[in-house]
Structure 1
C-alpha cells in the first residue's frame, strides 16, 4: 500500500472484492474505497457533479497505466456523462464520455473495491443506444445501492 492512500478507519466490505486484502484485513488503497463509497452514494442521490469530484480527486493518487487510475478515470467519465444528460439534456455529451469510460473500464475487475463494475459497463454500453437508461440508474456497492450520507456531502465539499 502506498502511504498516501492509507485511511485506517475505512471499514471492511461485505464479501471479498478486488482491493480488499483478506489476510491483512485492510484495503490495498483505502482512500480509493473511501472515495468510491462516497462517490457511489452521491451518484445514487443524483449529485453527479459531487460524485465526479470524489473520483477525480482520488484519480490523482495513481500513476498512468494502473488499474486504479483507469478505474477512477472511467468513473469520472461515467458521473460526468450522466450529469451531462440529466442536468443539461445532452445525449451527445453522454455518448462521448461513456465511449471513453468504457475504454478505461475495459480491464477493471468486475468487483473492484466492491463496485459492480460489470453493471457499470453493461449500463454504459446500453446507454449508447438508449440514453434514458441512466435517468434513474443507481450504482451497486457491496450488493446494495447506497444513498449519500451527510458525511458524503461534507467529503465532496472538502475536495473543492
Structure 2
C-alpha cells in the first residue's frame, strides 16, 4: 500500500523539478485541479489512473520511485533510451519491418473510403444532407468537419 504522506512529498519533488504549480501540473496530466488540491492536502489518496497519467506524461518519473521511493528520480538516461524504438544500422543482424507503417496507412485509407457522407431520410420529408459536424473538446477547443469538401 502506498504511504500517502511520502507520495505527496515525491509529488512535490516532481512539481519542483519541472517548476510547475499544482494547477498547471493537473492541466498537463489531464486531471481536475480540485483533485490535485485534495491530494496535496492529504484529503484524498492517489488513484491508479492519476498515477498512470503522471508516469505516462513525464517519462523521467519512475513508477516504483513514485509509489514507494525505490529507484531514482529522474530516471537514468539508459532506461529512457531503452524505451525508444531501435534504430536500424548497417550491422544489425535482423532488419526492422519497414512496411508495418505503410500497412497501417492503407488501413486508415480503407476506413476513410468506407465512411462517406450519408443522407438521412425522414418519412414524408425531403432528404437531408449533413452540412457540418462540430466536435467540442473539454479544453474549450473544437474541430469542424465538412463532409462535402
TM-score normalized with structure 1 length: 0.22
Structure index of larger Rg: 2
User: Going by fraction, where is helix more abundant, 1 or 2?
Assistant: 1
Q: Which has the higher contact order (CA 8 A, sep 6+)?
A: 1
